[in-house]
Copies of this chain bind each other. A is one copy, B any other.
Amino acid sequence: MPARTPDVDIGALTGLIGYMLRRAQIAVFQDVFRAFAEVGIRPAQFSVLTVIAHNPGRTQSQVAAALGIKRTNFVALIDSLERRGLAERRPAPSDRRSHALHLTEAGRMTVRRLNRMVEKLEAGMIRRIGRHRRAVLLDLLARLSEP
């Protein structure tokens, strides 16, 4: 029986959007991370695969910008996906500087598999906070993301 020290008061932090956003994001990402670990994919890689799947043929710069990633750091990301045979760089038809991004067949399969995982995770969210409140949350988060 430990000598019960009263809990540390976290102060007004629980009333701050920024702090609570961070905590929630970390908690949710941990779940995603665990689920994706089975496939060996990180959240950032998943987002890239998704965007390529929806926009085949776009250049690295375009995809990177859409995700808010610097094209500098995007290089290693694509490298890893290409090395694993999930995506590939093809010569862009109109610009010899650019690389057009495409998924391989394995990449498309992986995306489908990841999407099934994501669906389950989102279903868990709905169970936790309710379908309606989840929709409200998404709406509020979208507003905070905008300028």
Contacts and interface: CB of A to CB of B under 8 A. Distances in A.
Interface of A: 5, 7-29, 31-32, 43, 47, 50-51, 53-55, 58, 62-63, 65-68, 115, 118, 121-122, 125, 128-129, 133-134, 136-138, 140-146
Nearest to A23: B145
Contacts of A31: 18
22 contacts: A8-B58, A8-B65, A8-B66, A9-B54, A10-B66, A11-B50, A11-B51, A16-B118, A17-B122, A17-B134, A17-B137, A17-B141, A18-B32, A19-B43, A20-B142, A22-B43, A27-B145, A128-B144, A129-B140, A133-B136, A136-B140, A137-B140
Nearest to A52: B11
Number of chain copies forming the complex: 2
B141 A23 contact: yes
A67 B10 contact: yes
Contacts of A115: 12
